[in-house]
Amino acid sequence: MPPKAPAPPKGTDDPRFAAAVTLLGRTGADQFVIRYCDEDQPVVWIAQAKWRGRWQVASGLGPVGAVFALCDSVIDGGHCTHCQRPTGFSADLDALPLDTLVCWYQWDPELRTFRRGCAGDKP
Ligand SMILES: [Zn+2]
């Protein structure tokens, strides 16, 4: 009998987790790693991704928080290649400030993806 594959880490089954990892790929990341450190409490999760040979790292108290923190650090203050505005990241559905000045990458629960603000209302 083949060995059973390890269960995915708790919290990574949140659809926003995979969508955020996909979003990092859309920014040009070619590697992604999620891991945790449980030597002390609370357990700390670490999300890391690599762009052109350089790793960026962020942490959180769960896998979703860690990958969102990485999206925040990479996307906030970036530059949208579609509309030329500065970019921002938000996991919330709420209306965001300065939406005429900032291209927000925001969670769309219907499409289960993070969409850029300049993509319009239709997918
Ligand atoms: Zn844009």
pLDDT along the chain (123 residues), means of 10: 61 88 95 95 96 97 96 93 94 75 91 90 56
Residues less than 5 Å from ion ligand 1, measured at CB:
80, 82-83, 103, 116, 118
Q: Which amino acid is at 121?
A: D
What count of other Cβ atoms lies within 10 Å of the Cβ of residue 51?
Answer: 14
| C-alpha of residue 53 to centroid of ligand 1, in Å | 26
Q: What is the pTM of this model?
A: 0.86
Q: Which residues of 12-39 are buried (b: 16+ CB within 10 A; e: fewer)?
A: beeebbebbbebbeeeebeebebebeee
* pLDDT on residue 12: 77
Cross-strand partners of 96:
none
Distances in Å between the alpha carbon of 95 and those of 6, 14, 26, 92, 118?
Answer: 39, 22, 23, 8, 14
